[in-house]
Amino acid sequence: MPITKRSTLTQYLIEERRRYPGADGEFNSLVLDVALACKAISNAVAQGELAGLHGDHVEADMHTTNIQGETQKKLDVLSNNYFIHTNEWSGTLAGMASEEMEHPYQIPSQYPRGKYLLVFDPLDGSSNIDVNVSVGSIFSILRCAGKQNTDVKEADFLQKGSKQVAAGYALYGPTTMLILTVGRGVVGFTLDPVLGEFMLTHENIQIPADTQEFAINASNSRFWEAPIKRYIAECLEGKTGPREKEFNMRWIASMVAEAHRILMRGGVFMYPRDSKDPSKPGRLRLLYEANPIGFIIEQAGGRVSTGHEALLDVTPTSLHQRIGVVFGSANEVERIESYHKMPRTEAFHSPLFGERGLFRE
């Protein structure tokens, strides 16, 4: 298709807005500012070591860590700054929160404040940066219930995933893509690097309900709960097992890239609650990883769960809360949820997890 026949992100947003005659355009300007941050990050990621951007962030001769104790990469810090600087000035936001900042970010006093909250993981999968594997930015837009023109509080952000106004991610892979939901399905844009525009390339993305591909970090298998052990054991038994079909496995260690694969061709992703570290009920963060990806997955006809309950119905208790996550093709996620509900799964034993099995208990 000739490039001029495609919609840009701006055109898509304006046409969507025409459905809501009362809309004031603030939301569109917010999404375009987020997209600008993503374009700047895409450029920095592509420059990589040419611009000296690989490696850890160092301040006063010290490596820095974020609130979760993870070492910050140079590109984590840069990406966080891009998100802040493209969004703080516009008057659309009451405040922001990020994986890289312990507390909510207050809009500086020289700028007006608005009605939305922006929550983001500026560079997901950043352990992959230095090895040149896909990484991405994840964002979620909420309405701020607190009083306008006062400082935002952590409590303002503690909203269920089902309250999200919009969510999206940018994926910095062989091409840079922006995937977006405003609550009416999911669309995908590809960055035209010459025009510097996100062009609509993927309309109405739908996740197939069935799949033969799963993603899980199997090195944690001895810490999994019984329902996950059962599900994986049954997949591994393939054609001759209870599932009567072969399964394939993928693990990129960039959740945003796994989510994208699942949006494009189906699959199921699990980073379930496990017993590895009792202080961490799961690996992924609820507000800026699980909820936005979950909203996108459900808008594309997939399903998202903690295993135990509907993820988008979980009431958050803290900004950086971690949670067990299962998402992807609806029938597989439903099956995993059903294993969590079955008493007999608790007593599940498979030769794979036995004394001399592949995944020793």
125 binds ligand F6P (CB under 6 A): yes
CA distance 157 to 317: 10
* Among the listed residues 158, 166, 184, 161, the one whose alpha carbon sits nearest the alpha carbon of residue 30: 166
Per CB under 5 A, the segment of 124-132, 218-226, 245-253, 311-319 that binds Mn ion is: 124-132
- Determine the Cα–Cα distance for residues 358 and 232; give it in Å rounded to an integer: 12
x/- string (CB under 6 A) for ligand F6P, residues 256-295? ---------------------------xx----x------
DSSP label at residue 288: I
Site string for Mn ion, 131-170 (x = CB under 5 A): ----------------------------------------
255 touching ligand F6P, by CB under 6 A: yes
* Binding-site size, ligand F6P (CB under 6 A): 10
Does residue 121 bind Mn ion (CB under 5 A)? yes
Q: Count CB neighbours of 270 within 10 A.
A: 24
Given ligand F6P, Mn ion, none, residue 94, with its beta carbon under 5 to 8 Å by kind, binds: none
Among the listed residues 42, 87, 134, 254, the single contact to ligand F6P using CB under 6 A:
254
Residue nearest to Mn ion (CB): 124
To the nearest whole angstrom, how small is the minimum distance from the Cβ of residue 156 to Mn ion? 22
> Does residue 124 touch ligand F6P according to CB under 6 A?
yes
Question: Which of 124, 197, 225, 274 is in the footprint of Mn ion by CB under 5 A?
Answer: 124
Strand arrangement, sheet containing 176-181? 105-106, 93-98, 116-124, 135-143, 166-172, 176-181, 187-192, 197-202
**Which of the ranges 70-78, 79-87, 114-122, 151-159 carries the binding residues for Mn ion, by CB under 5 A?**
114-122
Which one of 85-93, 253-261, 274-282, 346-354 is the stretch in contact with ligand F6P (CB under 6 A)?
Answer: 253-261
Classify each residue of 43-82 as buried b or exposed e, where b means 16 or more C-beta atoms within 10 Å of its C-beta. Answer: bbbeeeeeeebbeebeeeeeebebeeeeebbbbbbbbbeb
33 binds ligand F6P (CB under 6 A): no
The dihedral built from the CA positions of residue 48, 49, 54 and 57, taken in this order, carries a sign that is negative
Taking the C-alpha atoms of residue 281 and residue 301, their distance in angstroms, rounded to an integer, is 27
